[in-house]
A and B are shown apart, each in its own frame.
Chain A
């Protein structure tokens, strides 16, 4: 039943290592978000994605660029 569905920014990565690096980077820079399994609406494959408030996109894009993190895609998903 019960999960609170809201529009979230989902960032996917080509590798799990990259996703874990994203988590470390965001924790270090106090950027919002958390790792979750990639939502089924994006991909059926097994992987981890960064899930964050939609308004964090600009800050996350800057962090991704500054740290050379390879992103596969940016999505907006109701979660």
Chain B
């Protein structure tokens, strides 16, 4: 069984989750997974930055209301010589931008190419220095948030960092995907229009 270290930092404000995680990391003598439970998105962002800064892969997932799991995949245990940067409380990385995804493909032309482009687009969104506030999925876009979508990993990571992922309920129903939603919540046209109207700007792939 893999070496699994669990740190419960629920209810703790920055910098405590990062401090606790850094300490647990220092005590790990063999490769394994350091899982940190936190209750806010800013902590997810800070832990992701800490793990990434040490060169580890990081997975993050929203597990419930105010419950997030950050898994730092420690492929090699930290060495004594590794510098320990001061934990920093960085302000929220989300902006006021909204991404509106109205299709499972990007652009018009060839659908196979369009699906490939859309996968690349959502990956690149997850790499933005300033993340969107909300990503809306409607019509064929609903296929991207449901079981079998190749973008689920990227979308779950975005959600765990506080990006609101919302899919049009009418569209899920139309495509028979209501029971297959795999990330984020369900929304309606009023909320979609309100989110678009309140956005600083809207990106439509």
Contacts and interface: CB of A to CB of B under 8 A. Distances in A.
A16 B116 contact: yes
Interface string A18-29: 011001000000
Interface residues of A, number: 16
B55 A2 contact: no
Given A36-B123, A37-B124, A2 B161 contact: yes
B52 interface: yes
A44 interface: no
A5 interface: yes
Interface string B110-129: 00110010011001101101
Interface string B37-66: 000000001001101110111110000000
A4 B93 contact: no
Given A34-B150, A37-B120, A5 B113 contact: no
A66 interface: no
B57 A6 contact: yes
Contacts of A60: none
A5 B104 CA distance: 27
A3 interface: yes
B198 interface: no
A14 to B, nearest CB: 16
Centre residue among B90, B119, B126, B129 by max chain A CB count within 10 A = B119
A3 B127 contact: yes
A35 B116 contact: yes
B48 A4 contact: yes
B90 A1 contact: yes
Contact of A4 (B51, B113, B119, B129): B51
Contacts of B57: 4, 6
Nearest to B127: A3
Contacts of B90: 1
Interface in A27-52: 34-37, 48
Contact of B55 (A1, A3, A5, A37): A5
Given A1-B48, A6-B56, A34-B150, 12 more contacts: A1-B45, A1-B49, A4-B51, A4-B56, A4-B58, A4-B59, A6-B52, A6-B57, A35-B116, A35-B120, A48-B116, A48-B120
Interface of A: 1-7, 16, 19-20, 23, 34-37, 48
Complex A-B, nearest 6 residue pairs according to Cβ-Cβ distance, in ascending order: A4-B58, A1-B93, A4-B52, A37-B120, A5-B52, A2-B48
7 contacts: A2-B48, A2-B49, A2-B131, A2-B161, A16-B113, A34-B150, A37-B120
